[in-house]
Structure 1
Amino acid sequence: MEGLVRPGEPKIAAMQPTRLSNILLATLVFAALLVPALVFLTATPSRAIFEFTVRDEIELGQKFNLAVRAQLPIIEDPEIQGYIHDMANRIKAAMPPQPFDINAEVVRSNMLNAFAGPAGYTFFFSGLILEFEHESDLAGVMAHEFAHVSQRHLADRIQKSRIIGPASLIGAIAAAFLGGGQTGAALAVGAQAAGHSAMLSYSRENEREADQVGMNYLIRAGYNPWGLVRGFQIMRRKQWFAGRDIPTYLSTHPGLPERIDYISSRVELLPAEIRNRAEDDDRFLRVKMLIRSRYTDTTLAMGYYDNKPQSEWTCTDRLGNAILLERLNRMTEARERYQEALACAPNDSLYLRESGRFYFQTGDFDRAGELLQKAVVVNPRDAMSLFYYARLLGERKQFAQALDYMERVKQRLPEDPEVRQHLGRLYGNSGNAFQGHLQLAYAALYRNDKRQTEFQRQQADRLATTEADKKALEDFAEAHSARAEFWR
């Protein structure tokens, strides 16, 4: 589960923040080094018109998505991911049919940023979500980004720029939305890609159209239209947090002050029943709590709880404080806070899974089993609950049931290295050495660990005896071929 791990811990545990400059540099270095094995754009002197088709955009989008997911920490916590996907589906239902599906993911980063890549691959940074006050604020930015997709603004910029080949395009898009300034990231892709990135930047006309079309989507989806205004206002106020090195939403989406004015004017003209729509923020506040307590710098997170009187804490605050105290290794206090949170919401699957995970980590398997089993029953689609319950069953040497649960987690998160790692251990401990090494090979592959990938693959190859084993190795070879680009 990307974005959920300390070294040696499953990605469902806390991960220390990554330096943004390193993230940006790694992304752009990858983009520069990506071998254009499939050059789907060709331009010859005989072609009078450079055409960037929907098919071209889909192929580029798939490669761009791989690049981002390989280099940036994507949060795959089912509570956060499920919420973002549900919000995206709600807005997509208010849009006309699109030639490709629109995907929304959350990047673990303090940056105030969001962007729509080719073919509807959109990314929202956790730092941006944390700053918003209402769900409609986030929905407004999401609707705006989806409007960039539906109006094919990036595709139009690519066609006009006449940049050829996935490597050049991915580097230019990454530079436009993720890098530049003094980080040195733009230098990693060279002057040509930096110049290309300027050609791909949205124009003021693009932004105005995305504002207008995005507002239509926001209203049709049933959100309060002031959310788009508030979201932009918050980002404008917070701009001083970001240095010149770190791209923000404002730097990649120009003319925000003027746009806030005309968007506000449009909202004022709407009927009162639309302007005054009630805000429903229950799930949004849960997601903010998880981002703050598990995925944000602990000092910043503790500042929130220190500045809010405990007499005003909600049940969600108590759970968030428990998660944070555990990250700080203040286990006695964390245990007390988890008990308070459970007493507050004894049948909530999120409270059950987080408390069960805590007791598992501290070695109280009986209490962990009780809570995790209940969490799985209440919400059988929560991959984190399934993951820890499978590990618990493995500790009890109930391998058949443990493997069944972990295989379910793998189906939902096939490229998560920690899931593959623990699945490999379960297979090995159960006596299936071939699958054990094969899953460990996958784990190394998705960590971009070339040496371990080859070692584990060789061990699996040595143990392959059946036709099913050989087919499994062929499937691995295909996955390896797709990922090997990242190592060049």
Structure 2
Amino acid sequence: MFFQNKIYIRFTSFFMLFMFFFSVTPQATASSLFGDFTVKDEIKLGKEFDKMVHSRLPVVLDPQITDYVKDLVARVAKQMPPQPFPITAAVIQNNSMNAFAVPGGYIYIYTGLLLNLKHESELAAVIGHELAHVSLRHVARRMEKMQLVNIASMLGTLAGMMIGMSGGGNSASIGQALAMGSMAGAQSAYLSYTQENEREADHLGMNYLIKAGFNPTSMVDSFKAMKQRQWYVSNTNIPTYLSTHPGLDARIDYLNERFRRMPPEYFRRQNDDAKFYKIKTLIRARMTDPEVAIAHYNNIPENKRTCLDHLGQGIILSRMKKNVEAEAAFEQARQECPGETLILRELGRFYFTIGKMDKASPLLREAYMRDPQDAMTLFFIARVEGSRKNYKQAILTMRKVAEMVPKDQEIHYHLGRMLGESGNYFEAHVQLAYAALYGRTPKQATFHLKKAEGLAKTPEQKKELRKLQEIITPPPPDGADKK
């Protein structure tokens, strides 16, 4: 939703170290072929897996969060050798400290990882490690050896490995559902990373991390954070990283050994966490249990609270319907950081939710002037105009939001409502059909499709209708029986 919403021994030979660091590691290339599993197959499998993730898991669509993660992934991925596919990132709303990458260049970051790491550089270290798995084709090469017969069996096995082992939330049950049958569960265990895989990914990922300008110690710091977190969860809720990426103690040891051979200036690199802290604030305040989140901020001494802490309090209190206290926290945040765009946006959003449009509008417009690419700000500007029955401007603005975030249920729902209130019933049903489609309610989508079919008159409307029909009721696959 738019709101939400290993190594087990040390090297004992200098020659082995020399060969590892200076030999050419296996990278994915367009001509790679191990058995029958080609890079073309990787790309196809990755696309299908990504569709599955977006259709069955709570993928975060808030551009503030997703754009930040995509930019950080791109910064690290830029250090990789040329790949035969683009690197594509997404954020999954789940409290597990988890991240994983799959063949074809897709990487997924859980909100729990963002929330529980201390610095951006630690997140970059995890990203570097995962991208190294992709570049080294660790999963792909193991799948080749399994000789899975088709994409469907590969997809189920991959889901069992990457999602089914996840701790916490609903990912485990979803992963089990996606792993098609007990065979997939056994296969997914075979696919798990070996200690040698982890050693290779640690060292190659470290190279990416350093080239991207980060302090190399952040990789060890991220491992320590995960290890520490393990002691705060039950045995049935251990973060995925500790079950699919074993041997943290040994990995920390050999990375510390590598640090001794690095230039001292690498370790003088400082963290720049301004954007990272904003994202953590949004995730904590918007996507975690409000009672747990408010307790976090209440435990911070008043004289040590930042404007972001007050912002987080305001968001949580507004979720708890404590509007007087929420307003005070928001205004405190604004007073301490008067030009902070995120605070202006969230305060404007708050005033909208309590019906104070005259206060909401100028705050949202100021936020938009400071950041015209923030789709969330534009979303609420459109809704303010809609509440004032200025439908022409509201619809125009909401269409722009839909272009920026094309597959969000709430955007299409509100656009449909505005169109209906303005008298454009055909397009209203089209947008409501898209809303139902992205909200995973196919019956409702079909209902609005039928309504739109009865209203389509012009060639443009019929063309738009055909596009919607192809999405909701796609043609049968090649070779299927046709009546």
Question: What is the 5 A alignment of 1:70-89?
Answer: 70-89=55-74
Asked whether the 8 Å contact 1:135–1:284 carries over to 2, the reply is: yes
Question: What is the 5 A alignment of 1:184-263?
Answer: 188=177, 189-246=180-237, 248-263=240-255
1:456 to 448, 453, 457: 448
> How far apart, CA to CA, are the structure 1 residues paired with 2:66 and 2:166?
31
Q: Which amino acid in the other structure matches residue 268 of structure 1? A: R
User: SS at 1:119's partner residue?
Assistant: coil
Q: Which amino acid in the other structure matches residue 213 of structure 2? A: G
Structure 1 residue aligned with 2:410: 418
- CA, structure 1 residues 181+452, in 2 after alignment: closer, same or farther (shift >3 Å)? closer
- CA, structure 1 residues 483+272, in 2 after alignment: closer, same or farther (shift >3 Å)? farther
Asked whether the 8 Å contact 2:96–2:166 carries over to 1, the reply is: no
> How far apart, CA to CA, are the structure 2 residues paired with 1:484 and 1:284?
45
Structure 1 position 346, deviation (Å) = 2.2
Q: Which amino acid in the other structure matches residue 55 of structure 2? A: A
> How far apart, CA to CA, are the structure 2 residues paired with 1:186 and 1:391?
37
Unaligned runs of 5+ in 2: 6-32, 478-483
- CA, structure 1 residues 187+483, in 2 after alignment: closer, same or farther (shift >3 Å)? farther
Question: What is the 5 A alignment of 1:411-450?
Answer: 411-450=403-442
Identity across aligned pairs (percent)? 44
- CA, structure 1 residues 49+231, in 2 after alignment: closer, same or farther (shift >3 Å)? closer
Asked whether the 8 Å contact 1:352–1:375 carries over to 2, the reply is: yes
> How far apart, CA to CA, are the structure 2 residues paired with 1:181 and 1:69?
17
Structure 1 position 359, deviation (Å) = 0.2
User: SS at 1:123's partner residue?
Assistant: strand
Q: Which amino acid in the other structure matches residue 426 of structure 1? A: M
Q: Which amino acid in the other structure matches residue 154 of structure 1? A: V
User: SS at 2:89's partner residue?
Assistant: strand
1:273 to 262, 265, 269: 265
Structure 2 residue aligned with 1:382: 374
1:145 to 130, 133, 151: 130
Asked whether the 8 Å contact 2:101–2:134 carries over to 1, the reply is: yes
Asked whether the 8 Å contact 2:97–2:240 carries over to 1, the reply is: yes
> How far apart, CA to CA, are the structure 1 residues paired with 2:357 and 2:174?
46
User: SS at 1:465's partner residue?
Assistant: coil
Structure 1 position 394, deviation (Å) = 0.9
Structure 1 residue aligned with 2:95: 110
Q: Deviations over 1:458-487 (max 9, x none)?
A: 0001100111111111211232246999xx
> How far apart, CA to CA, are the structure 1 residues paired with 2:217 and 2:250?
16
Q: Deviations over 1:305-324 (max 9, x none)?
A: 12110110111111111111
Asked whether the 8 Å contact 1:111–1:242 carries over to 2, the reply is: no
TM (normalized to structure 1)?
0.87
Asked whether the 8 Å contact 1:434–1:460 carries over to 2, the reply is: yes
What CA RMSD, in Å, does the superposition of the two structures yield over aligned residues? 2.0
- CA, structure 1 residues 341+399, in 2 after alignment: closer, same or farther (shift >3 Å)? same
Q: Which amino acid in the other structure matches residue 86 of structure 1? A: D
TM (normalized to structure 2)?
0.88
Structure 1 position 186, deviation (Å) = 6.6
User: SS at 1:163's partner residue?
Assistant: coil
> How far apart, CA to CA, are the structure 1 residues paired with 2:447 and 2:467?
17
Q: Which range moved further: 223-232 or 74-83?
A: 74-83
- CA, structure 1 residues 426+480, in 2 after alignment: closer, same or farther (shift >3 Å)? same
Structure 2 residue aligned with 1:353: 345
Structure 1 position 184, deviation (Å) = 6.0
User: SS at 2:362's partner residue?
Assistant: helix
Structure 2 residue aligned with 1:406: 398
Question: What is the 5 A alignment of 1:355-370?
Answer: 355-370=347-362
Q: Deviations over 1:277-299 (max 9, x none)?
A: 11111111111111111111112
Q: Which protein, 1 or 2, shows the higher relative CO under an 8 Å CA cutoff with sep ≥ 6?
A: 1
Q: Deviations over 1:74-112 (max 9, x none)?
A: 122222112111111111222221111111222111111
Aligned length: 443
Structure 1 position 185, deviation (Å) = 5.9
Asked whether the 8 Å contact 2:160–2:176 carries over to 1, the reply is: no
